[in-house]
Amino acid sequence: MDLKINGADHQVDVPDNMPLLWVVRDVIGLTGTKFGCGIAQCGACTVHLDGVAVRSCQLPVGAVGGRAITTIEGVGATPAGAKIQKAWLDLEVIQCGYCQPGQVMSAAALLAANPQPDDEAIDAAMAGNLCRCGTYVRIREGIKHAARA
């Protein structure tokens, strides 16, 4: 199976029903994308397919097709991803950081689709990403900060 991840081509020999999360982490070795719940409840595994945020723990790799996969390791190459990452550091959003690859991916997809998101849009885009450290206050500020950049 051929996958395009962060602009690079990868050939993998895996079952069609294997979730993209485990292909990316265990087979390809890009461990920035995280396992958090396995049932699309927490968003730690969020990646982009053609720029759209998806939960990779519930996405069979066979369903990816020719779409471009972007992970946390590659999102900094996109304008929205770079803005979000910078905002995250400017405002020190991150604590333990385990959920943050997913937060950044969801926020970058939001910002790319909606350059000036209001609180309602932020709630809608980010409610699927859990943070146990409780960084939500700064995630909200971080998205607004990135939008102003």
Partner 1 sequence: MPLAPDLSRRAILQGGGALVAGLLVAIELPWAAARADEPEPTGKRFNAFIHVAPDNTVTFTLPAVEMGQGAFTSQTQCLAEELDVALDKVMTVPAPPDQANYGSPALVVQATGGSTTTMAWSGPLRKAGATARAMLVAAAAARWQVDPASLTTENGVITHAPSGRTIAYGAVADAASRLTPPKDVPLKDPAHFRLIGKPVHRIDTPDKVTGKTVYGIDVMLPGMKFATLMASPVLGGKVGSVDQAQAMTVPGVRQVVVLDDLVAVVADNTWAAMQGLNALAIEWAPGSNAGLDQAQLWAGLEKAAQGPGVTAKKEGDAPAKLKDGTLFEQSYELPYLAHAPMEMTNCVVHVHDGGCEVWTGTQVPGFAQAGAAKALGIPPEKVTIHNHMIGGGFGRRLEVDGVVKATRIAAHVDGPLKVIWSREEDIRQQLYRPLYNEHLKARVENGRITALHHRVTGGSVMARWLPVAFTNGVDSDAVEGAVDVPYAIGNRLVEYIRHESAVPVAFWRGVGPNGSIFSVECFIDLIARKTGSDPLDFRRAHLEKNPRALGVLNLVAEKAGWGTPAPPSPHGARRGRGIALMNAFGSFLAAIADVAVNDTGDVRVTRLVIAADVGQVVNPDTLEAQIQGGATFGLSTVLFDKITFAGGKVEQGNFNDYRILRIDEMPVIEAHVVPSKENMGGIGEPGTVVTQPAVANAVYAATGVQLTRMPIDRALIAKGA
The binding site for partner 1 (CB under 8 A) comprises 15, 18-19, 22, 25-27, 29-39, 41-42, 44, 71-73, 76, 85, 88-89, 92, 94-101, 104, 122-124, 126-140
Instruction: Please say which residue, 112 or 138, places its beta carbon nearer to partner 1.
Output: 138
Instruction: Please say which residue, 40 or 68, places its beta carbon nearer to partner 1.
Output: 40
- The values of phi and psi at residue 134, to 5°, are 85, 50
Q: How far apart are CA 36 and CA 13, in angstroms?
A: 25
Q: How far apart are CA 11 and CA 45, in angstroms?
A: 21
Q: Which of 102, 92, 125 is nearest to 32 (CA)?
A: 102
Q: How far apart are CA 14 and CA 18, in angstroms?
A: 7
Q: How far is the CB of 139 from partner 1 (least distance, A)?
A: 6
Q: How far is the CB of 66 from partner 1 (least distance, A)?
A: 22
- Residue type for position 92: E
Instruction: Please say which residue, 19 or 49, places its beta carbon nearer to partner 1.
Output: 19
Q: How far is the CB of 32 from partner 1 (least distance, A)?
A: 2
Instruction: Please say which residue, 51 or 76, places its beta carbon nearer to partner 1.
Output: 76
List of E strands, the chain? 2-5, 8-11, 46-49, 52-55, 68-70
Q: How far is the CB of 121 from partner 1 (least distance, A)?
A: 11
